Amino acid sequence: MSPNIKRDFLSLIDQKTCTIGVIGLGYVGLPLIDAFVNAGYRCLGFDIDPQKVDLLNRGQSYIKHIDGDRISQWLALNRFEATTDMQRLSEPDALLICVPTPLDEARDPDLKYVVSTCRHISQVLRPGQLVVLESTTYPTTTRDVVVPILETENMKAGEDFLIAYSPEREDPGNPDFSAAGIPKVVGGINEVSLDCASKLYETAVAGVIPVSNCEVAEAAKVLENIYRAVNIALVNELKVLFDSMGIDVWEVIDAAKTKPFGFQAFYPGPGLGGHCIPIDPFYLSWLARKQGLNARFIELAGEVNRAMPEYVVTRTSEFLNEFSKPIRGSRICLAGIAYKKDVDDPRESPSFELLELLLARGAEMSYSDPHVPQLPSMRHFNLPSMESQPLTAEYLRSLDAVLIATDHTDFDYDTIVQHAPLVIDTRNATQHVKGKRDHIRKT
């Protein structure tokens, strides 16, 4: 082991002279920078998108919950700079990798961004640096993918440089949790790496949970998301069953959650969205297949959740038929493009599939989302250009139906129910609307 690597790194933390490099300036990277800047560190942000880098260096943001004023404060404190220059990866003392980890067309893990980032780091890696992978992935990625790229004859992981895994934990749209307020699980390639990574995070977040190795930390993140995916699939399946029986699944869940133990409420919807739940469980099912095993719960949950947009479209057709309207030619507004309430994040949102399915059936589609003013281009969907429409009384009356896909707080549900001829509610967003309700349909 290089002499005094642990002592030197911990000294940088104690003196707050440790420079933090964050690679990937998106929904994970920017909140992480905020936590470290607030803890007194200087941060250098890396991204391959020059437009993002330019905006950040001018004190502007492209993410709602990290606004421009906050970024301007980072700049004013001289604690932040963004760059596309990967040669500068040698400057920070700690490098935190927050790049996307999508699935490929076969729904297998696609680690191209992690691999590319590690190759850039390997070209300039210096002794004593700490490298932490935060991107969600399958167990063994840090040891079997990241380490071999970074190691050379003269640079050994855990000896000449430090390496750890600490999965990102973000809850966009939830004001009760910031990156600094969420405990971090940390696993190191060895004890020295674990100690240094844990100490670094302890100074910036609410708490650290050290685990025995990188694989445990990687598996913990996947478990967190599988837990949610399976339980959401359960209530989605029950929704279909209870709909066929004329039972309100939302009322059932409200009744069940009054039990003070042994039950946690999960809610149905038009499909899964966000980077985590629709994608991450399949990392483990892929790994299970490589081990000659079947992850049956994961695969079944994926089937149920992926079927929900088609189910919603089928029910939309049935509801329109009640009003003597076919889907073809009907004017339908999709309320909500973001995958989650009160966020501007459209990643993996089921709204894109709903739009595509309804357009394919001949509907005249529009959308409204106060957080997504223009319909973003998504690589898996071929959709026309659209702009968000304000939900005025006149506009609502011109429609045949409003399909609520995301229950944003900013939507005026009283106005929607009062003026839209038909309201199809996939989120139980209209439950507290009083007065006329005979044209509301839940699904």
Distances (CA, A) of 191 to 183, 210, 213: 20, 10, 9
Question: For this structure, is 118 an active site residue?
Answer: no
Q: Which uninterrupted H or E stretch holds 441?
A: strand 440-442
Overall size of the chain counted in residues = 443
- Enumerate the H helices of 89-129 as residue ranges: 112-124
Q: In what order do the strands lie in the sheet with 401-404?
A: 364-368, 331-335, 401-404, 423-425, 440-442
- Strands of 57-114 (E only): list them: 80-83, 94-97
CA contacts within 13 A on the Cβ side of 350: 25
φ and ψ of 94, to 5 deg:
-130, 135
CA-angle at 193, arms to 222 and 170, nearest 5°: 35
How far is the C-alpha of 255 from the C-alpha of 374, rounded, in Å? 39
Q: How many helices (H) and strands (E) does the chain have?
A: 16, 13
How far is the C-alpha of 178 from the C-alpha of 169, rounded, in Å? 9
Residue of 98, 118, 214, 276 with catalytic role = 276
Buried b (16+ CB within 10 A) or exposed e, 412-435: ebeebbebbbbbbbbbbbbbebee
Distances (CA, A) of 102 to 20, 23, 138, 262, 339: 25, 16, 12, 34, 16
How far is the C-alpha of 164 from the C-alpha of 157, rounded, in Å? 10
| Active-site residue set | 276
